[in-house]
Structure 1
Amino acid sequence: MKAIILAAGYGVRMKPLSDRCPKPLLPILGQPIIDYTIRQLKSLGISKIGVNACHQAKKIENFLGDGSQWGVEIIFSREQEIQGTGGGMRGFYSFLQGEDYFLVYNGDVFARIDLSGLVAAHRQMNPLVTLALCDYPPKNNVTCSPEGVITDFSERLKKFIYPNNRVLTFTGISVVNFEVLNYIPPDIPSNIIDIYLQIIERYPGSIRGYLVSENNWMDIGTPQAYLEVHKKILLDRQPFFFDLIPEGSIYQGRETRIEPGATLTGFVSLGNYCVVERGAVLKNCVVWDHTEVKSDTYLENGVIDGNCFFSLSRGTGTDSCFRS
């Protein structure tokens, strides 16, 4: 089985962080989101992965290379203009030919779910699509029957009403039959949910859901969610990945130095090759690689990159807050 990672989005909701770093490369405890995704796919036995890219595509390509650092082969689909989730999948038509089905993973999803169970459910029920779903009330908008049949998205169809329907959240992870690509128009942007709605109307029962725990899933779509996932790991001890639970609430990357007299409270994630000088105070912060936090600096509830601080206490903003 092959997999594709949809990594081409502009990251509009993630601004201003996504102006500096594409969402799939946002570091969580020193490693980009897409690194965790690839390692999950590799653990499932997947060795060939397609990745589409548009916004800051070169950065993504430079980080991933040919995939050999993970022991996989990575094929890129470079989009000159955003093709959407549907067009992005269709762009891998040649790469996926010969596969009965493939796994799709959104590039801004941070999760540890039962991928083998998802694939097994798809094999057993043999629908066109199996979506991994979780119960996350703030984003619940996928209507699913008690038998696991998906009947609607965001109440757009308002048909196929079953007693005891549940409304759940699509995690951004799915198993898709190759023939679904034939429903996606080539060379034009499209949204895969629009395609799925057409399939539901034409072939009721052909798209199913597979329920996973919401405890180990997070959509890293906004700066607030990006900061929150660090809190969940470092303070709440939520085991997204078992190798992601440091002993305390402070994560310290490779060759990073915290000088005596620096104060770190709440949760703090320090990237690689950082320095926190004596007298600096950090609380509930994420510090990106190669950053020096100077003495007598007080920063709280935000992301630090170079000499810029993105405060998440009162919306998102950018302040030059310490000497570079």
Structure 2
Amino acid sequence: MQGIIIAGGFGTRFRPLTYTRPKPLMPILNRPLLEYQVALLKAHGVTEIVFATNYMADAIEEHFGDGSRFGVKMRYAQEDQPLGTAGAIRNAAKSLWRQETVVVFNGDIVTDFDLSAVIDLHRRRGARATIALKAVPSPNPYGVLELDTDGRVLAWLEPTEEQKKALAANPNVEQTGWDYINAGFYVLEPEVVESIPEGRAVSIEREIYPRMIAQGEGLYGAPAEGYWVDVAGPTHYWKVTNDLLRGRVNVPLPGTPRAEGLWCMERAQVHCTLDAGAVAHIGEGAVVEKEVHLRGTVVIGAGCHIERGCVLEDCVLLEGVHVSEGADLTRVICDRDVSIAAGSRIADAVIAASSHIERESRLGASW
């Protein structure tokens, strides 16, 4: 089966981390986000994948190549200008191997859904398009889908800007029930793809699906069970990191378990023990010296060096970060090649690539 992964977003909410990489290549437990999607698609019979790319497209193609390293075939469809979700699908479809049913995955989703069940339901219903659905508490800031008893989509209700602002101002509003939202995984027949206008930006959520609903064109929803997060920004990134490492997502983790709560990639050297209740993932060739305290959830990237006496609590360090003796980091995300001098105290910060933090620095509201 063939698939399209939409991977062209600019990742503005992830800046400064996305100044050095496209968001779909953000490492999660020392593995790019897109690799989790590729592995899930392959596990459900998708062996030919086209990436719909835009921002930093070359980095995605350089990482995946022809796909042979991942056991699938891969091609790339780079946009000259942003085409929206449907426009990206239409453009990528030109690079498919055959004209047939295709699955589409938004490139910022982490899930363990049973995709085969969604595909099978699509076929049994004779649907033209099927949207995987996630149940979320109501009210919420998402577009909500209403279904009939057969699963046909009757309406797609987008919240107004006023409703979104009200929810943002009062996120703890009382729950009134459950809604189905678009989970970012679609099964599409060729005629749906061909109906998407070419050469301009087109939204599948705001243009194609509403048209199908209005014309009764066989658009169905498929409620799916399991873990699902849209990795929209640093808060969601942290949630996914924590959930994966604590076993809340039914996907295999990269690396090898070395002790309770500790996963390591090849050639990682860990000379300390985890504090009580901590979990950690250590990247390839990283060195963690003696008397280091790892607390909460910690990810240390490939080639990092954490010197004696450091404290890391709820942190993600990407590749090549050096933390010198006695530094204390709490709720910090470091991009690649950051150096933090001895005795520094940093909390609640995102540090841009190649930054140098001077000795005994104090950064963040907690200090």
Pick closer, same or farther for the CA change 1:283–1:166 going to 2, 3 Å. closer
Residue-by-residue CA offset, 1:39-74 (whole Å, 9 max, x unaligned) = 111222222110011111111111011111012111
Kept in 1: contact 2:17–2:352 (CA 8 A):
no
Match of 1:179 among 183, 186, 191: 191
Q: Does 1:322 align with 2:357?
A: yes
Whether 1:255 aligns to 2:276 is no
Instruction: Give the 3 Å change call, closer, same or farther, for CA 59–312 of structure 1 in structure 2.
Output: farther
1:136 maps to a residue whose letter is: V
1:301 aligns with 2:338: no
Distance across 2 between alignment mates of 1:97 and 1:47: 11
SS of the aligned residue for 1:105 comes to strand
Q: TM-score, structure 1 length as denominator?
A: 0.88
Structure 1 position 323, deviation (Å): 5.6
Matched, 1:238 2:251: no
| Equivalence for 2:130 | 130
Distance 1:289 1:307 in 2: 9
Question: 1:151 maps to what in 2?
Answer: 154
Cα distance in 1 between the residues matched to 2:315 and 2:13: 20
Per-residue CA deviations over 1:71-113 (Å, capped at 9, x if unaligned) read 2111100112111111100002333474331000111111111
Choose the corresponding residue for 2:209, options 183, 190, 196. 196
Question: Residues 308 and 14 of structure 1: is their aligned pair in 2 closer, same or farther, counting only changes over 3 Å?
Answer: farther
- CA shift, 1:168, in A, is 1.1
Q: Could you say which residue in structure 2 is the equivalent of 1:60?
A: 60
SS in 1 for 2:319: coil
Alignment equivalent of 2:322, drawn from 277, 284, 292: 292
Structure 1 residue identity aligned to 2:298: V
Counting only pairs closer than 5 Å after superposition, residues 1-324 of structure 1 correspond to structure 2 as 1-96=1-96, 98-137=98-137, 138-145=140-147, 146-155=149-158, 167-193=179-205, 194-203=207-216, 206-213=218-225, 215-235=226-246, 237-243=247-253, 247-248=260-261, 249-305=279-335, 306-307=337-338, 313=348, 320=355, 322=357
Contact 1:265 1:283 in 2 (8 A): yes
Are the structure 2 counterparts of residues 298 and 98 from structure 1 closer, same or farther at C-alpha, using a change threshold of 3 Å? same
The 2-side partners of 1:312 and 1:175 are apart by 43
TM-superposed deviation, 1:22: 1.0
Report if the CA contact (8 A) 1:52-1:88 is conserved.
Answer: yes
Write the deviation string for residues 197-228 of structure 1: whole angstroms up to 9, x where unpaired: 11111125x11111112x41111111110011
Decide whether the 8 Å contact of 2:86 with 2:208 is kept in 1. yes
What is the CA deviation profile of residues 125-145 of structure 1, one whole-angstrom value per residue up to 9, with x for unaligned ones? 011111111112345432222
Q: Structure 1 CA distance, aligned partners of 2:55 and 2:215?
A: 34
Instruction: Say which one has the larger Rg.
Output: 2
**Letter aligned with residue 109 of structure 2:** V
Give the C-alpha shift of residue 318 in structure 1: 5.4
| Residues 261, 278 of structure 1: 8 Å contact kept | yes
**Contact 1:269–1:286 (Cα < 8 Å) also in 2:** yes
Output one character per residue of 1:246-265: Cα deviation in whole Å (capped at 9) or x when no partner: 53111112211110021110
For residues 24 and 329 of structure 2, the distance between their equivalents in structure 1, rounded to whole angstroms, comes to 25
- Pair 1:308–1:142, CA change in 2 (3 A): farther
**Structure 1 vs Structure 2 CA RMSD:** 2.5
Question: What is the SS of the residue equivalent to 1:103?
Answer: strand
Larger relative contact order (CA 8 Å, sep ≥ 6): 1
Paired with 2:141 and 2:252, the residues of 1 have a C-alpha distance of 26
Counterpart in the other structure of 1:159: none
Contact 1:97 1:178 in 2 (8 A): no
Deviation larger for 141-150 or 21-30: 141-150
**TM superposition shift of 1:4:** 0.5
Q: Residues 94 and 58 from structure 1, CA distance in 2 versus in 1: closer, same or farther, beyond 3 angstroms?
A: closer
Q: Distance in 2 between matches of 1:153 and 1:140?
A: 10
Partners of 2:92 and 2:253 in 1: how far apart? 32
| Runs of 5+ consecutive residues of structure 2 not aligned to the other structure | 160-176, 262-278, 341-345, 360-367
d(CA) in 2 for partners of 1:128, 1:308: 53
Q: TM-score, normalised by structure 2?
A: 0.78
